[in-house]
Structure 1
Amino acid sequence: MGQRQSPEEAPGAHDREAFEAAWRRWREEREAAVAAPDGFLAITGLHWLGPEPIRPAGAPGAWWSTEAEGVLVELAAGEELRVAGRRVTGRHAFGRIDAGSPLHAEYPGGVVELARRGERYLLRPRRPDHPPLLTYAGTPTHAPDPAWVLPGRFLPFAEPRPVTVDAVVPGLEHVFEAPGQVEFALAGDRRRLTAFNGRTAGTLLLLFADATSGVTTSGPGRTLALGPPAADGRLAVDLNRATNPPCAYTDHATCPLPPPENRLPVAVEAGELLPPRAAD
């Protein structure tokens, strides 16, 4: 269990209702994102690009990549894409794609995602009629419990550090910028986990695994988004909001794995559980 609050610190009935209502709103937003028509459940395949053109099933065009020109596509007669609202036909060069800044090209019935992992480019078609998306019935979770909202502190590094982590794809590595560590008490011990930059300025992201990983929760671990720390570094570590990575929903993901120091030897029985899986 989490670090339990003493009776005088425990929330009253009104606070508990507000806590659970906020959690339910977050769950609705989270489920909407998972079930989005262009989300990870909509991915039909993962294709690594190289100098030889390939034609992915279910998407228009022949695709390849070169070091000089980045990603290219040759569209046959009658095929087209829309890139940033512009109609594209024939041969089109997307150029080099920055890691962490994927591009998307729309086509009738779907979207093609283009991204870079290390020095390699990948292509993933996404379709709203993909069976895993159509049959998705939600992700089970532990019941929300204020005992899993832990007081924490952000400990910034003198300078942000690049941290290399492995991925679920053998041989692939991710490099993220780590601005510092997050410290909190769990199961009677102080823990320090490396934190990465979150989606918006000032926010943080934890990648962690625990004793439930691969048993009742995602084997590669889970993620936890944290709000900006206060001026003195204080922040709440709400493990009720621990979420599955994309690879819990599709085999076509390239999820990073937690760094060694983020592997907790205790069970975090909070947040999302393993989702039901339909075949990709």
Structure 2
Amino acid sequence: MTTEATATDLQVFTENWLDWYRAQESRLADPHGFLAITGLHWLDDRPQRFPDAPGAWHTGSDGVVVDLDDGEELVVDGRPVRGEHRFGVLPERGSVHAVWGDAVIEIAKRGGNDIVRPRHPDAPLRTAFTGTPAYAPEPRWAVTGRYIPFDAPRPTTVGAAVEGLEHVYDAPGRIEFELDGRPLSLTAFPGHGVGALTVLFTDTTSGVTTYAANRSLAVEPPAADGTVTLDFNRAANLPCAYTDLATCPLPPAENRLPVAIEAGLKIPRERGGS
């Protein structure tokens, strides 16, 4: 391969990475993205009021209910609601979003618990956001691996950014790969889209230059022979890297890599990164 071709390939690789990085930052800083969250409220059978959401909220066997006072209104599925509104029983990791003025009220289930998580565009974390530090993209960190499906999905329990909370995922298989000649593997969870995978991991940069608790890597559906690409340049931060108001899962123990992955997103400035 000529030097000119190599330089062109590197330019395309870098431009593609920049497109990914900008999309990550845009989703994060959306007016109702994770940086706009102002509270993480845990529901039980006692009606509770919160300073950043209208109404009194409770949950039970029939799901989440809000009682709105006179003059209070939410818009759910494009329809204004007043008085009592029942959101019903939410599935695990499911969410419903209700509009309140310029805010969005997220109603969700995480770790078997119903929560209310308001998102306000003027949240200080969002308005002060200046971007996430990242390693410069390098092709050496885009490695080929082999996906090995399990005989049946394995229920895998992992911890969460919130102490005492647990998440359970059905892991469909693992990915084997090498870095600098060292054999490694990662348990994979279902990703977004049919056949896609997600990997949660830490490595020896975690807590040093990258966020201590976790990073996430999206993996395209494996080829017919099981081949996948692990592009660690696209190792992303989960919301808990920026805010304590997130319930992100932690990696399974076997995904704590004993190598330094000096690629992808670094510790956010909001956590002291530079």
Query: One fold, TM greater than 0.5?
Result: yes
Q: Distance in 2 between matches of 1:126 and 1:212?
A: 31
Which fold has the larger relative contact order, with Cα–Cα distance below 8 Å and residues 6 or more apart in sequence? 1
1:102 match = 95
Whether the aligned pair in 2 keeps the contact of 1:59 and 1:125 (CA below 8 Å) is yes
Alignment of 1:31 with 2:35, yes or no, is no
* Matches for 1:65-214 after TM superposition, within 5 Å: 65-67=59-61, 69-214=62-207
1:44 pairs, out of 23, 35, 38, with 38
Are the aligned partners of 2:241 and 2:271 in contact in 1 as well (CA < 8 Å)?
Answer: no
Is residue 145–residue 229 contact of structure 2 (8 Å, CA) maintained in 1?
yes
Distance 1:229 1:66 in 2: 41
Name the amino acid aligned to 1:115.
A
Task: Report the secondary structure of 2:48's partner residue.
Answer: coil
Instruction: Give, as a single letter, the amino acid of the residue that structure 1 aligns with 2:57.
Output: W
1:243 CA drift (Å): 0.5
Offset of 1:170 from its aligned partner?
A: 1.4
What do the CA deviations read for 1:40-83 (whole angstroms, capped 9, x no partner)? 1000010000011111112111101112x110000001100011
The answer as to whether partners of 1:132 and 1:278 remain within 8 angstroms in 2 is no
Q: d(CA) in 2 for partners of 1:278 and 1:86?
A: 39
Aligned residue type for 1:34: L
Q: What is the CA-CA distance between 1:12 and the residue it aligns to?
A: 1.1
Deviation at 1:188, TM superposition (A): 2.8
Is the partner of 2:50 in helix, strand or coil?
coil
Residue 278 of structure 1 and its aligned partner are, at CA, apart by 8.0
Q: State the match for 1:3 in structure 2.
A: none
Question: For each residue in 1:103-124, what CA deviation from the matched residue of structure 2 results, as whole angstroms up to 9, or x when unmatched?
Answer: 1111112011111123321110
The structure 1 segments of at least 4 consecutive aligned residues displaced by more than 4 Å after TM superposition are none
Please state if 1:256 is matched with 2:249: yes
Task: Report if the CA contact (8 A) 1:131-1:278 is conserved.
Answer: no
Give ranges in structure 2 of 5+ residues lacking alignment. Answer: none
Relative distance call for 1:278 and 1:230 in structure 2 (3 A) is: closer
Shift of 1:21: 1.0
- Distance in 1 of aligned mates of 2:93 and 2:246: 14
Contact (CA 8 Å) 1:187, 1:266: kept in 2 or not?
no
SS at match of 1:14: helix
Counterpart amino acid of 1:74?
D
Deviation per CA, 1:78-113: give whole Å up to 9, x if none.
100011111110011111000122111111120111
Counterparts of residues 218-229 of structure 1 (less than 5 Å) = 218-229=211-222
Question: Is the CA contact 1:49–1:64 (under 8 Å) kept in the aligned structure 2?
Answer: yes
Over the matched positions of the two proteins, sequence identity in percent amounts to 51
**Matched residue pairs, number?**
270
Partner Cα separation in structure 2 for residue 118 and residue 63 of structure 1: 19
Change (3 A) 1:80 1:168: same
Which residues of structure 1 form unaligned runs of 5+? 1-6
What letter matches 2:194 in structure 1? A
1:272 — aligned with what? 265
SS at match of 1:277: helix
Correspondence list, 1:209-248, <5 A: 209-248=202-241
**1:190 Cα deviation from its structure 2 partner:** 1.0
Match of 1:16 in 2: 10
Q: Which amino acid aligns with 1:276?
A: R
Cα distance between partner residues in 2 of 1:61 and 1:83? 14
